[in-house]
Amino acid sequence: MFFMTKLPYTCKFCKKPGETEYDERIIRDVKKWTPYLCCPVCGLYHEKRLKIEERIYKACLWLISLPNNSEVMEKARKRLEAYTKDYSFTVCKHLGKPQIWDMDFVEQLMGRPALCRKICYQYRKMVYKTI
């Protein structure tokens, strides 16, 4: 039988206090990893957001690598439209904002696919600043 030790922490993202448990026999130096802890809500959000960003990134790489014909462009546009809608829903829901999505998000990614990570970051920053 073993006992879990409780550890208070502050979420890395939302700064809310939380508490977790750990086994002292397995984890020796708790102070090293305590600053990296996050609450379950923020953890799930960031995991989902990063998965969607990875899909957007792969779609943009696919767009860069293929020839520019109308069929390929339309297929890429549909993929990016679905991914960006999912992305905007996830970001806006987590931040408690109304869903903000515009076809311009897709057009920016289609026009500059190499900058897809920067475009996603700018979108999150824009949503965060809205009322």
- Count Cβ neighbours within 10 Å for each residue of 30-65 and write b for 16 or more, e otherwise: eeeeeeebbbeebeebeebbeebbebbbebbeebee
Residue 27 tokens read as: 């984890």
Does the predicted TM-score (pTM) go above 0.85?
no
| Domain limits, the chain | 5-36, 44-129
Residue 2: band (very low, low, confident or very high) from pLDDT cuts 50, 70, 90: low
15: alpha, beta or left, given left = phi > 0 and alpha = psi -120 to 50?
A: left
Tokens standing for 64?
Answer: 């860069």
Instruction: Look at the block and give the residue holding tokens 């829903």.
Output: 89
Q: What is the pLDDT of residues 73-91, one digit of tens each?
A: 888 899 999 999 999 999 9
